[in-house]
Amino acid sequence: MRKWLWIGLGLICILYGISIFMLRSGSKFYQVWIALGGGFLILAAANHYQLWQKLPKAFRAGGILLLVLVIGSLAAAEFCVLKHFHDRGEPGLDVIIVLGAQVWPEGPSASLKYRLDAALEYLNQNPDTRCIVSGGQGYNEPWSEAQGMYDYLTQNGLPAERIRMEDRSVNTVENIRYSMKMLDPEEDKVGIVTNNFHVFRGVALARSQGIRQVQGIAASSHPVYLVSNMFREYFGIAKDLLKGNIR
């Protein structure tokens, strides 16, 4: 019975990874799902041949302890992510920073469009709030993410004079760092606009880098990508904690 459970999980992970790839998420994280699926299939084979029982007790105990630590840390990270899933930001913020994501020749990716639509909604309701669009140009992008966001916002009625572009950053840490040069981190009230799964880390990075008054503005997410993106955030949070980016 356990063998078939591993086989089922393995096939689900592999098919999910392939579906993310086919839908052009712009990320290579689909490879993690395919690798995870392969790992489950290996567990199925190990279970079939009873390889686990043949390992030394100390090795098995270490493996179980590692599994418990991973599951515990994953649960803690996802709890933090879910706490900020519906952040809306208070009215009258001085500036919002829209974090970049994949752009295609035909326009913003699904994830980025959610962010831009949330930014537009907030900016239309708060006409004195300024906007910074933040994101450089990736190897598979036709122009910078900042340029793609600027074009989308202006085409949807936002006056160009309310927008400033930060077009050098290649990750969330740099999004915040370079955008800070366009605002007063001590005095300005700042909103971080990003997809719901990403708000916790975006706000935590902004606080760690010195923005004193910061809050999240959560955009929706593509339902197919959501599980993958939340799993990916676990690794992003762990990396930023280990590098000291989040304190």
For residue range 60-96, list pLDDT tens digits in order.
Answer: 888 889 989 999 999 999 999 999 999 999 999 999 9
Residue 13 has pLDDT above 90, yes or no: yes
CB 214 within 8 A of CB 247: no
Q: Are residues 129 and 153 in the same domain?
A: yes
SS3 96: strand
- pLDDT at residue 107 in the model: 93
147 is a domain residue: yes
Q: Are residues 75 and 185 in the same domain?
A: no
56 is a domain residue: yes
Query: Rg of the Cα trace of the chain?
Result: 21
47-56, 137-146, 175-184: which has the minimum mean pLDDT?
Answer: 47-56
218 is a domain residue: yes
Residue 25 has pLDDT above 80, yes or no: no
Q: Are residues 31 and 129 in the same domain?
A: no
Pairing of strands 213-219, 189-195: parallel
| Tens-place pLDDT, residues 105-154 | 999 999 999 999 999 999 999 999 999 999 999 988 999 999 999 999 99
Which helix (H) or strand (E) segment holds residue 138: the answer is: none
**Residue range(s) defining the domain that contains residue 10:** 2-83
- pLDDT at residue 202 in the model: 97
